[in-house]
Amino acid sequence: MSVYAGWHGQFTSPGRYAGAAVTVNRSRRVIRGAVLGVLGVLCAVATCASSADPATVPQDSPQETVTLLRALGKTAPERVVVVGDSLSTGLGTTAEEAWPSQLREDLQSARQSADVINAATNGAGYLTAGEGGSTFGTQIAASLDASTDVVVAFGSDNDAGHNPADLKRAVARTLETIRVRAPQARRILIGPLRSFTASDTAREVIRDQERAAANEAGAVFIDPIEEQWIPGPGSALLGPDGEHPSHAGQQFLKDRIKSILMTE
């Protein structure tokens, strides 16, 4: 004679299944508790990491990056081209300390043939000409070929004051040039950093045009303003001018952009 033990079709009979049912239920409670405990720890870690000053959060070493890539079934890109402005040239630190130079060292540690070509120039934008008459478009024309794996375009607040529609068209032209010259390359656009001044409104206009053009072109867009890469005007990530990356800021940008390259 059996006794019905639940809607899922489980039955117990005296002296045979009752003990087993209790054991299974107890095991389920133990497993459920363990899973919830692990999830709680992960949530706590994520909360702490998101609330910490980015300059103090531990970052992966090159070897840890290699291990992570292998686990994900990925490899480091072999040829990355960076186009941009003074956020990428090392202004305020040195060219050797600039985040593209640090990224090159990391990628070469993961893959011997990897390279990062830094085409950025001070003062450049999508529409605004910087040093030597350089714009993001001319930087791409001079540095891209079919072997390029990734193009990172970072900035630019130098385009402040231009007509937004003209800026969006310039960004779209830049993305199309990348697609034609390097058909296999991933296109990653990173908007300007927050400045914590009245010019932030202009930067948000620039950001919005870049985002719109990237979305229409199927490119990746990253928003440092929304993601709060710079947590405040007194951040250790900013140098004395309050605008360009400090030594810690260059390290932070390298780590953040490296993580983008590995996931996007």
List per-residue pLDDT tens for the chain, 264 residues long.
333 333 333 333 333 333 443 343 444 444 444 434 444 444 343 444 444 555 554 455 444 544 444 433 445 678 999 999 999 999 999 999 999 999 999 988 877 678 999 999 999 999 999 999 999 999 999 999 999 999 999 999 999 999 999 999 999 999 999 999 999 999 999 999 987 876 679 999 999 999 999 999 999 999 999 999 998 888 999 999 888 999 999 999 999 999 999 887
Tokens 């140098």 correspond to 239
| Spatial contact of 118 and 88, defined as CB atoms under 8 Å apart | yes
Superfamily of domain 60-263: SGNH hydrolase (3.40.50.1110)
The number of angstroms, rounded, from the C-alpha of 153 to the middle of its chain's C-alpha atoms is 12
Model confidence, pTM:
0.72
Question: Are 162 and 127 spatial neighbours (Cβ–Cβ below 8 Å)?
Answer: yes
Helices (H), the chain: 18-51, 62-72, 99-110, 136-143, 164-181, 200-217, 247-263
- The pLDDT score that the predictor gives to residue 16 is 36
* Three-state DSSP state, 219: coil
| Residue-level pLDDT at 53 | 57
H or E stretch at 83: strand 79-84
Alpha-carbon distance of 134 to 187, in angstroms, equals: 20
Amino acid 185: pLDDT: 96
Q: Where are the domains of the chain?
A: 11-50, 60-263
The amino acid at residue 188 is: I
